[in-house]
Chains A and B, each alone.
Chain A
Amino acid sequence: QSVLTQPPSVSAAPGQMVTISCSGSSSNIGNNYVSWYQHLPGTAPKLLIYENNKRPSGIPDRFSGSKSGTSATLDITGLQTGDEADYYCGTWENSLSLVVFGGGTKVTVL
């Protein structure tokens, strides 16, 4: 059971938007930054969003992040077939002094 809760899967047609939620608590998301990762099987995870809403260089602005209270959200607009992957949120857990990830959300492009 992950400390951070994500929906197991989301789907949408090409060109549409998907939203992935990440729910936590005051001891993690509520008082820390959130990161988001894209992971395709057999490859290295890729940092999409850091510090809640910042994109590393090279990440298209179709990917955006936000945080409100103890929850965070990743939006993917203009969905492409290449976006099919697993997406994870992550943050620091203050009560245990460790990094926590969400269980992951599989994005399917219909």
Chain B
Amino acid sequence: EVHLLESGGGLVQPGGSLRLSCAASGFSFSGYAMTWVRQAPGKGLQWVSAISASGSDTYYADSVKGRFTISRDNSKNTLSLHMKSLRAEDTAVYFCAKATGLHPKYYHSMDVWGKGTTVTVSS
């Protein structure tokens, strides 16, 4: 069964850092681009970042560029999101998701999602 499981969420103070992980199983992880999407309380879905299948290309939303770093370890079937300089507006449920296509123009099409991990930025 295809499965994604996020971990690493929690409570962090403004300006702090956190590293999210996403463990993949049931599919050939190294063959697919992966993404992070978040949903802040009472808000809609917001795309955060994407990484190509090989890990050589990365993409970020303007709101997180320079603060978040997406990476992957294809040998461990793991996707990561390192978040620093966290702000209150980064408070959200963070989902990892598998893209259906290899080209960036297909990164909006995500057919497998994890259940999400909650990040709360507050003092």
B10-18, B77-85, B111-119: which lies at the A interface?
Answer: B111-119
CA distance A91 to B110 in the complex (A): 11
Chain B, interface size category, equals 20 to 34
Taking a contact as CB atoms closer than 8 A, the residue among A47, A101, A103 that contacts B109 in the complex is: A47
Assuming the contacts A45-B37, A45-B95, A50-B100, asked whether A33 and B105 have C-beta atoms less than 8 A apart, the reply is yes
Q: B1 contacts which chain A residues (CB < 8 A)?
A: none
Q: A88 contacts which chain B residues (CB < 8 A)?
A: 44-45
Contact A90 B47 (CB under 8 A): yes
CA distance A35 to B59 in the complex (A): 19
Q: Does B61 have its Cβ within 8 Å of any Cβ on chain A?
A: yes
Q: Does B25 have its Cβ within 8 Å of any Cβ on chain A?
A: no
CA distance A27 to B108 in the complex (A): 14
User: Which residues 58-116 of B have a CB within 8 angstroms of A?
Assistant: 59-62, 95, 97, 100, 104-111, 113-116
Chain A-chain B contacts (Cβ-Cβ < 8 Å), number: 75
Interchain nearest-CB distance for A13 vs B (Å): 26
Q: B45 contacts which chain A residues (CB < 8 A)?
A: 37, 39, 45, 88, 90, 101, 104
In terms of DSSP, what is the predominant structure of the interface of chain A?
strand
CA distance A57 to B119 in the complex (A): 32
Contact A45 B50 (CB under 8 A): no
Contact B104 A96 (CB under 8 A): no
Q: Does A82 have its Cβ within 8 Å of any Cβ on chain B?
A: no
Q: Which positions in A face B, CB cutoff 8 Å?
A: 2, 32-35, 37, 39, 43-47, 50-51, 56, 86, 88, 90-92, 96-104
Q: Which positions in B face A, CB cutoff 8 Å?
A: 35, 37, 39, 44-47, 50, 59-62, 95, 97, 100, 104-111, 113-116
**Which 5 A-B residue pairs are closest in the complex by CB-CB distance?**
A44-B113, A104-B44, A99-B47, A90-B108, A50-B109
